[in-house]
A and B are shown apart, each in its own frame.
Chain A
Amino acid sequence: MAAEPLLKIENLVKHFHVRLGAFGERAATVHALDDVSLDIVEGETLSLVGESGCGKSTTGFTILNLHRATSGKVLYKGQDLTALDEKRMRRFRRDLQIVFQDPYSTLNPRMTVGEASGEPILFHNLAPKAELEAKVAALLTDVGLPPRFASRYPHELSGGQRQRVAIARALACQPKFIVCDEAISALDVSIQAQIINLLLDLQEKYRLTYLFIAHDLAVVRHISTRVGVMYLGRLAELASRDALFETPLHPYTKALLSAVPETDPEHERSRKRQILEGDVPSPLAPPSGCRFHTRCPIAMEVCRRVVPKWKEARPGHLVACHAVNGE
């Protein structure tokens, strides 16, 4: 990758300290994110996939400093965001936005659509009050809502329309980078397609960079430039969309892809799935060595003891697996 990445994430770690037991008598650590390094290139859509508890959302939150990193760095324009306090972080929030899964709980029910989408503009002093109305109208048009919606309240909108408002809010301060945290997962299929199209249009128009966090691999395959697969707080594999879907290297990626159903009855009936046994282990006590070894069909002795290195197996194709030989 020749271009300087927009965001450089280095050895990011996030542990949560929790108390267990009926009286909170036992202290424990959730290993939500361990040693994650990746670059996000300007204009790309980098997707993170994996099952619940794999750390994909934590990655998004920690990059935006919504969770304080336990260790590691997030470099944006040469600045390590993890070192900033909330006040100094504010300057960067303009550039780095997020859209959440459930627009019902993220939109203030007592604010109109216009107030909600205009709030970031006022907060960051991006336009004088006199121009606010025009700005909001332009924003709503951008996300495919008629400007008259500005006077409506969230409860008057459908799920898809609410998600458009959430996107308008994220767009309001002309960001460079948006984390889409399961932003389309709660929507019905026909509405989901509308929002995917909207995200693609906006990306083209404003040259946005997305970190797209999702568990629906069909959607991820559709919109991504590159895809990272996470398992239990670690990156297992990271590659271009085509390389990941056509020549996956990590046994977990292979199993994940084999579990995705297609809308083709004949293919579905005849296909041999590689079904993983058991459940994802608890992040309270992740397995030693490679965290996937307890479910891995090709686990070897070394996998139980040694954490596999994050290595470039092919140009631009990174993987953490003892069974894959690096070049």
Chain B
Amino acid sequence: MTGKNRLLDVRGLTVEIETRRGPAVIVDGIDLHVDKGETLGVVGESGCGKSLTMLSLMRLLPNKIRVAKGEAHFDGRDLQKMSNRELRKVRGGDIGFVFQDPVTSLNPVMRIGDQLAEPLIYHRGMNRKQARERAIELLRLVGIPGPEERIQAYPHELSGGMRQRVMIAIGLACEPKLLIADEPTTALDVTIQAQIVDLVKGLREKLGMSVVWITHDLALIAGLVDRVVVLYAGTVVEDAPVDALYASPRHPYTRGLLASIPKLSDAPASRLNSIGGTPPEPGRRPQGCPFAPRCPLAMDICRTHVPKLEPVSAAGSHRAACFAVEKALEAA
């Protein structure tokens, strides 16, 4: 399956957290890949490991959390084996990041122009004047009015939507091959969210970059991504082209998630098909399939064995990790 087209290839990534009772697995052997020019949506609820997975690629994990196993190849090189010096060249250079909360991610005592110029000077060897001009260009690119004056502003002088645009501009500063956006619109209002989604769509085409969009919102990414990876309790439960995922979700968790979202066609005040129970706490995963305790289709085998991510479509592009799905396919 690996071709020249593969930009990011993560295999068997396992992340552990140190606890008093010894190491606990919070990301359990995740496989995922992103092709050149592709936009991948990574979906899951809080605590499923979606942010940690992406942070671990860049070795930006907080204290006491570490990568236990796994490889992550970016453009043919293993990120986990790079020296810190090499990795610094990749961070913010070939891989751009946009975090959820611009308030904590931007430096409050630095003018936004300087924060934009920093990666350009570091990664692209620009001088201050060039970097300043490029910073103005970038602010214009992300739709900030009056960029010549705005580069003088401090983060607190901007609105939430504007700050998130600045974050995106920083992420894009060095024209990365890959942009990783971690819930970039979660803190924003819906009309501003629409602006940001439109902005990233436009820039992706203009710059030809790949995008990983991490989110909990299946509706938000429907029109934005090419493929979706669904995470549950630190494992990939389904990986599918976007149309296939929404039209025929195979994993019971994905189905439950989609059914939980109110739709236009619902009768007013009808009951939603919610998933019972709550996700396991990180580090307290049940034996067998992590979704089994909440799964309406759970069988005996689900409680003892962990299902592998296996193709469920003829083309093999749609994969799910579920024993019940295999059963359904065999029966069909």
CB of B105 within 8 A of chain A?
no
Q: Is the CB of A223 within 8 A of B269?
A: yes
CA distance A242 to B264 in the complex (A): 10
B-chain residues with CB within 8 Å of residue A191 when the two chains form the complex = 45, 274, 278
Q: Is the CB of A160 within 8 A of B278?
A: yes
CB of B46 within 8 A of chain A?
yes
CA distance A143 to B216 in the complex (A): 26
Residue of B145, B246, B264 with most chain A CB atoms under a 10 A cut-off? B264
Interface residues of A in 67-102 (CB under 8 A from B): none
Min CB distance, B230 to chain A, in Å? Answer: 12
Q: Is the CB of A200 within 8 A of B263?
A: no
CB of A273 within 8 A of chain B?
yes
CA distance A265 to B145 in the complex (A): 31
Q: Is the CB of B256 within 8 A of A190?
A: yes
CA distance A194 to B272 in the complex (A): 8
Contact flags (1/0) for A104-123 with B, using CB distance below 8 Å?
Answer: 00000000000000000000
B-chain residues with CB within 8 Å of residue A241 when the two chains form the complex = 268
Kindly report which residue of chain B lies nearest to residue A203, judged by CB atoms.
B269
Chain A facing B: main interface SS: helix
A-chain residues with CB within 8 Å of residue B206 when the two chains form the complex = none
B-chain residues with CB within 8 Å of residue A188 when the two chains form the complex = 45-46, 216, 279
CB of B82 within 8 A of chain A?
no
Q: Is the CB of A259 within 8 A of B242?
A: no
CB of B161 within 8 A of chain A?
yes
Q: Is the CB of A256 within 8 A of B190?
A: yes
B-chain residues with CB within 8 Å of residue A51 when the two chains form the complex = 189-192
Known: A51-B190, A200-B269, A219-B262. A275 touches B275 (CB 8 A): no
Contact of A190 among B193, B219, B275 (CB under 8 A): B275
Min CB distance, B319 to chain A, in Å? Answer: 18
B-chain residues with CB within 8 Å of residue A327 when the two chains form the complex = none
CA distance A241 to B274 in the complex (A): 23
Chain B facing A: main interface SS: loop
Kindly report which residue of chain B lies nearest to residue A192, judged by CB atoms.
B260
Kindly report which residue of chain A lies nearest to residue B256, judged by CB atoms.
A190
Kindly report which residue of chain B lies nearest to residue A201, judged by CB atoms.
B271
CA distance A221 to B262 in the complex (A): 8
Q: Is the CB of A218 within 8 A of B261?
A: yes
Q: Is the CB of B278 within 8 A of A265?
A: no
Q: Is the CB of B246 within 8 A of A263?
A: yes
B-chain residues with CB within 8 Å of residue A200 when the two chains form the complex = 269, 271
Min CB distance, B23 to chain A, in Å? Answer: 23
Q: Is the CB of A222 within 8 A of B273?
A: no
CA distance A275 to B143 in the complex (A): 13
Q: Is the CB of B219 within 8 A of A263?
A: yes
Q: Is the CB of A196 within 8 A of B272?
A: yes
Q: Is the CB of B191 within 8 A of A259?
A: yes
Q: Is the CB of B190 within 8 A of A268?
A: no
CA distance A126 to B256 in the complex (A): 40
Contact of A263 among B162, B193, B258, B274 (CB under 8 A): B258
Interface residues of A in 22-36 (CB under 8 A from B): none
Q: Is the CB of A264 within 8 A of B192?
A: no
Kindly report which residue of chain A lies nearest to residue B270, judged by CB atoms.
A222
CA distance A222 to B264 in the complex (A): 8
Min CB distance, A283 to chain B, in Å? Answer: 12
CA distance A218 to B161 in the complex (A): 22
CB of B276 within 8 A of chain A?
yes
CB of B19 within 8 A of chain A?
no
Kindly report which residue of chain B lies nearest to residue A262, judged by CB atoms.
B219
CB of A325 within 8 A of chain B?
no
Q: Is the CB of A218 within 8 A of B219?
A: yes
CB of B24 within 8 A of chain A?
no
Q: Is the CB of B269 within 8 A of A222?
A: yes
Min CB distance, A55 to chain B, in Å? Answer: 14
Min CB distance, A149 to chain B, in Å? Answer: 13
Q: Is the CB of A265 within 8 A of B223?
A: yes
Q: Is the CB of A255 within 8 A of B223?
A: no
CB of A197 within 8 A of chain B?
yes
Q: Is the CB of A221 within 8 A of B243?
A: no
CB of B220 within 8 A of chain A?
yes
Contact flags (1/0) for B244-265 with A, using CB distance below 8 Å?
Answer: 0010000000001111111110
* Sample (26) of A-B pairs whose CB atoms are under 8 Å apart: A51-B189, A188-B279, A189-B45, A189-B217, A193-B259, A193-B274, A194-B275, A196-B274, A197-B274, A200-B269, A218-B262, A222-B266, A222-B270, A242-B268, A256-B190, A260-B190, A261-B197, A261-B217, A263-B222, A263-B246, A264-B246, A265-B246, A268-B222, A271-B223, A275-B194, A279-B161
- Spell out B's residues near A (CB within 8 Å): 45-46, 145, 159-162, 189-195, 197-198, 216-220, 222-224, 242-243, 246, 256-264, 266, 268-276, 278-279
Q: Lowest 6 A-B CB distances belong to which pairs? A: A268-B223, A193-B274, A222-B262, A51-B189, A193-B260, A259-B194
